[in-house]
Amino acid sequence: MTKFNPSMSRRRFALGAACTAGLAATGVARAQQVLAPTPEQALGPFYPTGYTGEDDFDMTHLEGHSERALGDVIEVSGRILDRYGNPMRGAMVELWQANDAGRYAHANDVSTGALDPNFQGVARLVTGPSGEWRIKTIKPRFYDTPLGLRTPHIHFDIQGAAHRLVTQMYFDDEAEQNATDFVYAPLGEQAAATVAKTTAPATYRWDVVLMDAAS
């Protein structure tokens, strides 16, 4: 029979405690891993200042109108996260975009594309308990500018608890046009974080990371 050795027992206990502490520290480090924030981009010249129209999640249909907006209907959803990956409930999300003809419903847009009286063009949302948001809209069309063609995109202005992010979202099925876009291309390695992924036909997913700290 092996004799009980108090010294050996203490050493084993100390080793076990050290291992437990190490595993706990590793778990904390993993839990506190900082995510790369979604890059900021230009507000653009067509921010809907003074907009007072309908601004719910369904941008394809206006109350009292018998027809829906022209173009391909899509759904885009995602979550707003803080830099530690925690969902941000109650974040304010404002977005706006061009219509199927590549035109904004904005007084300063001199595009020759036709306005669509049935397209909402602007949405204002508040994220739910898991930081989620969702819109139903029209796939925006590319349009020309003095600096070159703009690839299809949607503008976002997101306000968290301590940080505001102005950025733009692109589509993974527009990779060729994205690559030559004068706003997208300079993002370099950060560009991938601005691209919504196709999850099903006419359905996209895009999560956004703000610089807010975990609450």
Q: Which residues are catalytic?
A: 104, 143, 150, 153, 155
Q: Within 13 A of 126's CA, how many CA atoms are on the CB side?
A: 4
Q: How many CB atoms lie within 10 A of CB 160?
A: 23
For the record, the structure tokens of 89 come out as: 């409930």
Q: Where are the beta strands (DSSP E) in 32-163?
A: 73-81, 92-96, 122-126, 132-138, 143-145, 148-150, 154-159
Token pair 């050290």 in the structure block, residue: 18
CA 209 to chain CA mean position, Å: 7
For the record, the structure tokens of 159 come out as: 């306000």
94/178 Cα distance (integer angstroms): 22
Q: Within 13 A of 191's CA, how many CA atoms are on the CB side?
A: 17
- In the 8-state DSSP scheme, what is residue 17? H
Q: Which helix (H) or strand (E) holds 195?
A: strand 195-200
